[in-house]
Amino acid sequence: MTNEPAKSGMTAELNKEIRLARFVPRRLKLIFLLFLGALPISSFAACPDLSAFYQVEVTDSAALQQQISQLLPQCLESSEFFAIYGAAQLSNSDLAGALESLERALLLNPDNGAAAIDYAQALFDEGQLFTALEMNQRLLGREDLPPGIGDALQGRQQLWKSFTRQSSLQAEVLAGYDSNLNGAPDSSQITLTLSGEPILLGLDSAFRPQSGGYLSTRAAYRQRRLAPESQQNWGVEVRSRNSDYSQSDLLQFAANYQFLKPSRTNSWQAATGVNHLQYGGSSLFTGLDTSFRYQPGSERRCNPYTQLAAQHQDFHRESRLDGLETKASLGLSCPPFGNAGRQQLSAELSRIDNFAANSGRLGGDRAGWQSTLNWQYSLQTASVRVQLSQTDIEDRKGYSPLLKDGAQRSVKRSYFLLQYRRPIRLLGSSANFMINLYHQRQRSNLQLFRSKDTSAALGFGWVF
């Protein structure tokens, strides 16, 4: 079951991408300003003639904004003035000021088309995609549009609509070294209990840790659909790991669906998915997942959340291991912060219960706790992600009379993951150089379940 917190903040995600399209509508700015002369606007004797600003070619937007602002005391009731002033503020990237001025222009004269055009653009730049689309659609329905304006607005509408349905394809290739490809126990021998007496049993080399190099590949497809009050995500992912020790080769397939409903007061998310794992060339495990997450709104920098998840576990080689695992989590998620670089932080504490599907499962039901900490630091040139996890699980029944007189198995597993990403333009505009470092240690009261594993890999990734 995944420990990664569900994605949130639909508006924040949009802002990263929609700013790439801002330059397209801005090239139409001069055409839009001509709309002022073709639509009815308010006219007041106290406000001077503003027609000279219509033909101004903007070379210094800050100076132009300053020049227009000097007329403010004389034009407090002029919709025409606030439309021009708002357009200048928008060109000067004064988004808050532009929104205020353009809102006032429309309050003074709701039919001011130039103000409406720029107001829709300002809403889009602020991340209010659907409000901008709605206003732009109303403009398209007007019958008094000057020649050329309708085509420009239609092009803008199509551009903005493209942000409601987005897809991406990711590909990764890494080469690395793993100290325990087959996840075998540390010890070369284990102690069995026969007739109350301890007997040492040596493990065959096939059941001891196998180290070596490996090649890892990953391909993932993501699609996101946005609606005014919700978001839907689909994803499909395939991973593989191949080495000279083919008995430990891995092939993993995963598919998932998420439905998110954010609001100002809270947000919730429902998700479902399937995971299938092949090990050594044959099917090992299939898991069916479902989860629900709720996060209340808060004025604080970091917000708490709760999550409930369940997974049906099907082990194809040994049906006695089948079970149903539930997970109840409390977490804390912090949005990006920092000045020198953007940091993200999240922490989670979970209660895990695993119920045996068959009465003959060794150890019976089991339960325990898991804690996870995620930290990410991003700069323009690179990003670093660190994940720490600790899981403590204990069986409800004795595991086997052959191991420590039938003692209940207790397992403590911890791992550390470090990921480094850096753009490398020599391999394409979306290419990244990648380094992964991983260390896991598993402790147990039973020798058979004590193990450790360290791996390091480097390679390249692309996003299309």
Q: Looking at residue 182, what is its pLDDT?
A: 93
Which CATH architecture best describes the domain 165-463? Beta Barrel (2.40)
- Is-contact 368 346, C-beta < 8 A? no
- What is residue 58's predicted lDDT score, i.e. its pLDDT? 56
CA 50, 51, 52, 54 torsion-angle sign: positive
Q: Which burial class, exposed, middle or buried, applies to 267 when counting CB atoms under 10 A from its CB (0-12, 13-18, 19+)? A: buried
Task: State how far the alpha carbon of 353 is from the alpha carbons of 5, 8, 347, 408, in Å.
Answer: 19, 27, 20, 16
How far, in Å, CA of 84 to CA of 113, rounded? 12
Distance CA 185, CA 193 (A): 18
Q: Who wins on pLDDT, 29 or 171?
A: 171
247-298: per-residue pLDDT in tens? 999 999 999 999 999 888 899 999 999 999 999 999 999 999 999 999 998 7
Give the per-residue pLDDT at 21: 38
Rounded to whole angstroms, the Cα distance separating 223 from 206 reads 42
Average pLDDT over every residue of 348-356: 98
Beta-strand pair 212-227/230-243: antiparallel
pLDDT at 12 over 70: no
pLDDT digits 0-9 by tens, 309-336: 999 999 998 999 999 999 999 999 988 7
Residue 243 has pLDDT above 80, yes or no: yes
Q: Name the segment(s) of the chain with CATH classification 1.25.40.10.
A: 14-163
Contacts of 447 (CB under 8 A, 6+ apart): 185, 187, 190, 191, 403
Looking at 3.40.50.1820, 1.10.275.10, 1.25.40.10, 3.40.50.300, the CATH number of the domain 14-163 comes to 1.25.40.10
Q: What digits encode the pLDDT tens for the residues 116-155?
A: 999 999 999 998 999 999 999 999 999 888 888 889 999 9
CA dist 74 and 39 (Å) reads 22
Inform me whether the pLDDT recorded for 8 exceeds 50: no
Q: Supply the angle between the helices 129-140 and 113-126 in degrees, to the nearest 10.
A: 160
**What string of H, E and C letters represents the secondary structure of 160-194?**
HHHHHEEEEEEEEEEEEEECCCCCCCCCCEEEEEE
pLDDT band, residue 340 (cuts 50/70/90):
low
Residue 23 banded pLDDT, cuts 50, 70, 90? very low
Closest-CA residue to 373 (of 327, 418, 432, 403): 418
| Mean pLDDT of the region 358-379 | 94
Please say whether the dihedral angle defined by the alpha carbons of residues 204, 206, 207 and 213, taken in this order, is positive or negative.
positive
**pLDDT score of 7:** 36
